[in-house]
């Protein structure tokens, strides 16, 4: 099977290298050699080992009937969407690591693959190298999925780990993440929960069968978290983690991203540094968790090549992962999601309990009160009139 790669950045370059390095093992597992064809680039790579394969115009790939599969590792929804659409229309399979593309255009690309008898796969778009979409879509098929909750962004998890384990302030931890190459110069998509939100949408799409529009999803990031919150969490025997969630409820599904307090007895609390994990609850299986590297060249490329082998083994099967386009109506307002909440305030305990009811107080930190409410909603807290400086739901299975 002849494969083209569109986009020669971190992940695209990793795919080319794995196809070369592990060619023999891959051929045995795929039942045929995976032959690397053209690589679509936007600039020169003088002296690169794959230089002779590079092309500047996608038409060269589009019009090559021998190329049966296109790997898209450009990112975003501009050129990437155009290329994927053109490839699928020609009956070429497409494998991508592009979470924005899948979150925003998954349903239409899946439908296009179905119409043209080819496949559109994207295991790498959520959780990087961790196998999670395939298991969710296949192995757990006997279940009604009730809850999918993940640590879906490594950069923010690194920052939170630095704040909680090493007492770093938010700004210092972010600077450190940028120095180590985890965070971009403009870290907005990571720290404001946008990246995690896209991945939560893809998980929701698979688990609930309808495309949830990312622009309608509530995304709260970590930029408001303080060292004081970290101290309260430690005092409670908990961690603070940015969670992307998709929770089934009567009448629809809550899909949202926000920082949660997590008891240390939960597996998700054990996930430190840049690692990711996805917890899935199903009607029959109970709870399973998938853990591993959520980003990085070779882990992400490992998931892409896994999809390539999967297609090479099953070139004639129908599109294996599908959902309907119109999920907006199923989306419930995240402010109504019921949970216990950690609340922090400079107000007195008496005044707070008068409007919020009984609160499970933690030891006072620097003259500030913090504790846990009974089950309620963010909306009820907002409307209570209580002077709250921070509000975080508690994640409990």
Least separation in angstroms between CB 329 and its own copies: 19
Task: Please give the residue ranges that form the binding site for its own copies (CB under 8 A).
Answer: 14, 18, 22, 25-26, 29-30, 123, 129-131, 134-135, 138-144, 265, 267, 270-272, 282-293, 296, 298-299, 301-306, 308-310, 313-314, 317, 320
Residues 6+ apart with CB under 8 A from 319: 110, 113, 114, 118, 119, 120
Q: Which is nearer to its own copies, 309 or 362 (CB)?
A: 309
Q: Which is nearer to its own copies, 104 or 310 (CB)?
A: 310
Among candidate residues 92, 199, 239, 241, the one labeled active-site is 199
Q: Which is nearer to its own copies, 33 or 320 (CB)?
A: 320
Q: Which is nearer to its own copies, 131 or 224 (CB)?
A: 131
Q: Which is nearer to its own copies, 105 or 239 (CB)?
A: 239
Least separation in angstroms between CB 115 and its own copies: 17
Least separation in angstroms between CB 344 and its own copies: 28
Query: For this structure, is 199 an active site residue?
Result: yes
Least separation in angstroms between CB 309 and its own copies: 4
Torsion of CA 348, 354, 356, 357, to 10 degrees: 110
Least separation in angstroms between CB 209 and its own copies: 9
Q: Which is nearer to its own copies, 25 or 348 (CB)?
A: 25
Least separation in angstroms between CB 319 and its own copies: 11
Active-site residue numbers?
Answer: 199
């Amino acid at each position: 099977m002849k494969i083209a790669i569109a986009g020669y950045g971190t992940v695209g370059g990793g795919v080319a290298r794995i196809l070369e390095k592990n060619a023999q093992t891959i051929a045995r597992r795929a039942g045929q050699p995976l032959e690397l064809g053209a690589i679509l680039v936007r600039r020169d790579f003088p002296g690169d080992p794959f230089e002779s394969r590079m092309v500047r115009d996608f038409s060269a790939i589009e019009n090559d009937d021998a190329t049966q599969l296109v790997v898209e590792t450009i990112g975003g929804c501009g050129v990437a969407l155009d290329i994927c659409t053109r490839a699928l229309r020609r009956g070429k399979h497409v494998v991508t690591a592009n979470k924005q593309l899948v979150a925003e255009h998954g349903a239409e690309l899946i439908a296009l693959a179905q119409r043209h008898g080819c496949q559109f796969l994207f295991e790498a778009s959520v959780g990087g190298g961790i196998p999670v979409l395939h298991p969710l879509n296949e192995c757990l098929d006997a279940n009604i999925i009730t809850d999918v909750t993940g640590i879906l962004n490594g950069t923010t998890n690194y920052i939170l780990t630095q704040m909680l384990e090493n007492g770093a302030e938010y700004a210092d931890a972010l600077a450190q993440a940028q120095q180590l190459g985890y965070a971009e110069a403009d870290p907005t998509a990571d720290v404001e929960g946008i990246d995690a939100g896209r991945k939560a949408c893809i998980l929701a799409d698979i688990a609930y069968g309808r495309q949830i529009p990312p622009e309608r999803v509530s995304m709260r990031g970590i930029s408001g978290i303080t060292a004081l919150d970290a101290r309260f969490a430690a005092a409670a025997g908990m961690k603070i983690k940015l969670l992307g969630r998709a929770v089934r409820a009567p009448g629809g599904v809550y899909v949202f991203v926000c920082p949660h307090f997590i008891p240390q007895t939960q597996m998700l609390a054990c996930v430190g540094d840049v690692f990711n994990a996805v917890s899935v609850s199903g009607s029959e299986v109970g709870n399973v968790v998938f853990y591993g590297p959520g980003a990085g060249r070779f882990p992400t490329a490992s998931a892409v090549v896994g999809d390539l082998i999967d297609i090479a083994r099953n070139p004639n099967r129908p599109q294996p992962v599908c959902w309907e386009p119109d999920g907006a109506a199923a989306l419930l307002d995240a402010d109504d999601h019921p949970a216990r909440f950690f609340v922090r305030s400079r107000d007195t305990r008496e005044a707070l309990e008068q409007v919020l009811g009984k609160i499970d107080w933690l030891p006072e930190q620097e003259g500030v009160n913090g504790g846990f409410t009974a089950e309620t909603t963010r909306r009820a807290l907002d409307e209570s009139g209580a002077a709250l400086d921070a509000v975080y739901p508690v994640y409990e299975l």
